[in-house]
Amino acid sequence: MRFVHAGDFHIGATPESGRQWGKERAISVAGALGRIVDLCNSEKADLLLIPGDLFNAPPLTKELKEAAYSFSRLENTRVVIIAGNHDYLSEDCAYGSFDLGENVFLLSSESFSSVYFEDINTEVHGLSYHKKEIREPLYDELTAPTDDRIHVLLAHGGDSLHVPIKYSQLAKSGFDYIALGHIHQPKLFKGTHMAYCGSPEPLDRTDIGARGCFVGEVTKSTFTIMWRPLAKTQYRLLEINSDITLTQAALEECVKEELAAHPSDLIVVLLEGSRDPAYTVDTEAVLQLGRVVEVIDSTNPEYDLEQLLADHDGDIISYYINMLDTPDKTPEMKKALYFGLSALLGD
Ligand SMILES: [Mn+2]
């Protein structure tokens, strides 16, 4: 059985909506399902597994119609879906009863149900959220039936408010594949048949790195899986380790190089290390350089502590330095030292 595992599309989400690339991001998120359908066709996938949060909220009828159109373009692929915590099956939402196509199977029950496809000898199991939170660990005691069918589980959750999961236990549940959703970072659990697909497009600037889906093939005795990048855009973290020599011009040069090397990406600049106390990073100027979504300045001013002690013998500044500049100082103490000195010196 060949499958594509993609979830957490969050159709309807509009990341970075206030920024100049907000419209582009909204289009990428809305178009991800179409690109997954193309992949299913080129891969001749038997099943498209969507473990929840296809939509960003209980979907509107127009969003269901758009999804149904995308699914209608599938040539050989049937779709199995569960509803997640974002697109939970609320009473006033059409999702649970909407006809998404004869090749689409929403496991809409709040308790476990399954759909069996005889031609590929595969049974897909799962349950849907009917509310925003499920705090019970519903998957921990689960075991797959012991028959000749290929058994696949769709599961959504993994934090304390959304079905906490004991992964080592779930991995031993006997399913031939466990398609996880909810966490937007892709993760293949080594040595198991279990993965989070992540979202096909990043949904937040904290979603650093490539996004896509998994393509795999499973039989009762074999298992292969491959990661496929698919996102139009990725958030890229540019970590700059600064020291006392850093200047604004050098910083901007570094960011410009990164922007030129990755013109379709969005850059988060993280400045770490130390800087000249006389230099304050002009984060606004860096944001103006192009597709920079955020500048995080975590640098500390590099004070010459010996010189300060000599200049401030006996006053509060030397007292403060002696209190915090101990050989066993923690990173927090180091930060407190810099912040306090910055305040005391009026920088
Ligand atoms: Mn979720």
Residue 310 C-alpha to ligand 1 middle, in angstroms?
A: 57
> What residue has token string 């992949």?
39
Alpha carbon separation from 158 to 7, 132, 166 (Å, rounded)? 14, 14, 8
pLDDT of 301 reads 86
132 Cα to the center of ligand 1, angstroms: 9
pLDDT of residue 225: 98
Q: Ligand 1 centre from 138 Cα, in Å?
A: 15
CA–CA separation, 56 and 63 (whole Å): 10
CA of 245 to the centre of ligand 1 (A): 45
Rounded distance from Cα 335 to ligand 1 centre (Å): 36
Ligand 1: centre distance to CA 278 (Å): 46
d(CA 253, CA 289): 10
The CA distance from 35 to 117, in Å, is 25
275 CA to middle of ligand 1, Å? 40
Q: How far is the centre of ligand 1, averaged over its atoms, from the C-alpha of 79 (Å)?
A: 19
CA of 200 to the centre of ligand 1 (A): 14
Same-domain pairing of 43 and 160 = yes
318 Cα: distance to centroid of ligand 1 (angstroms): 52
* Among the listed residues 114, 102, 72, 108, the one whose alpha carbon sits nearest the alpha carbon of residue 88: 108
221 and 239 housed in the same domain? no
Residue 60 DSSP code? P
Residues 142 and 30 reside in one and the same domain: yes
C-alpha closest to that of 149 among 115, 190, 179, 106: 115
Q: Walk along the chain (347 residues) in steps of 10 and give the mean pLDDT of each run.
A: 98 94 96 98 98 97 97 98 97 93 97 98 98 96 96 98 97 97 97 97 95 97 96 96 93 97 96 90 96 94 90 92 89 87 84
Beta-carbon contacts of residue 101 (< 8 Å; ≥ 6 apart): 68, 71, 72, 79
Secondary structure (DSSP) of 59-101: PPHHHHHHHHHHHHT-SS-EEEEE--SSS---TT-STTT----
**The total number of structural domains that make up the chain:** 2
Q: Cα(188)–Cα(196) distance, rounded to whole angstroms?
A: 6
- Do 217 and 280 lie in one domain? The reply is no
Q: What separation in Å is there between the alpha carbon of 269 and the centre of ligand 1?
A: 27
Last residue within a domain, chosen from 229, 264, 284: 229
Domain boundary among 229, 256, 278: 229
What is the C-alpha to C-alpha distance for residues 337 and 332, in angstroms, rounded to an integer?
A: 9
Return the DSSP state at 232.
Answer: S
Residues 115 and 132 in one domain: yes
Ion ligand 1 nearby residues (CB, 5 A): 53, 84-85, 182
**H or E element that contains 48:** strand 47-51
Which CATH number fits the domain that encloses residue 118? Answer: 3.60.21.10
126 and 10 share one domain: yes
Same domain? 203 vs 273: no
What pLDDT, on a 0 to 100 scale, did the predictor assign at position 135? 97
CA–centroid distance, residue 203 to ligand 1 (Å): 12
CA 116 to ligand 1 center in whole angstroms: 25
Asked if 301 and 277 count as a contact pair (C-beta separation under 8 A), the reply is: yes
Distance CA 258, CA 152 (A): 42
Find the 82 Cα to ligand 1 centroid distance in Å. Answer: 11
So what's the pLDDT on residue 300? 86
Q: How far is the CA of 181 from the centre of ligand 1 (A)?
A: 7
202 shares a domain with 98:
yes
Cα(45) to centroid of ligand 1, in Å? 24
How far apart CA 54 and CA 81 sit, in angstroms, is 8
pTM for the full model? 0.89
How many angstroms separate the alpha carbon of residue 173 from the centre of ligand 1?
A: 22
- In the block, tokens 């890229």 appear at 236
Instruction: Tell me if 271 sits within 8 A of 297, measured CB to CB.
Output: yes
Query: In the 8-state DSSP scheme, what is residue 312?
Result: T
245/217 same-domain check: no
Q: Do both 193 and 247 map to the same domain?
A: no
DSSP-derived 3-state class of residue 43: helix
CA of 145 to the centre of ligand 1 (A): 27
Residue 312 has what pLDDT?
92
Expressed as residue numbers, the domain containing 70 is 2-229
Output the CA 159–ligand 1 centroid distance in Å.
10
Q: How far is the CA of 134 from the centre of ligand 1 (A)?
A: 11
In this prediction, residue 168 carries a pLDDT of 95
Residues 201 and 260 reside in one and the same domain: no
Same domain (yes/no): 209, 290: no
CA distances, 156 to each of 68, 75, 183 (Å): 22, 27, 9
Gap from CA of 238 to ligand 1 centroid (Å): 28
Q: How far apart are the first and last CA of the chain?
A: 65
Q: What is the pLDDT of residue 347?
A: 64
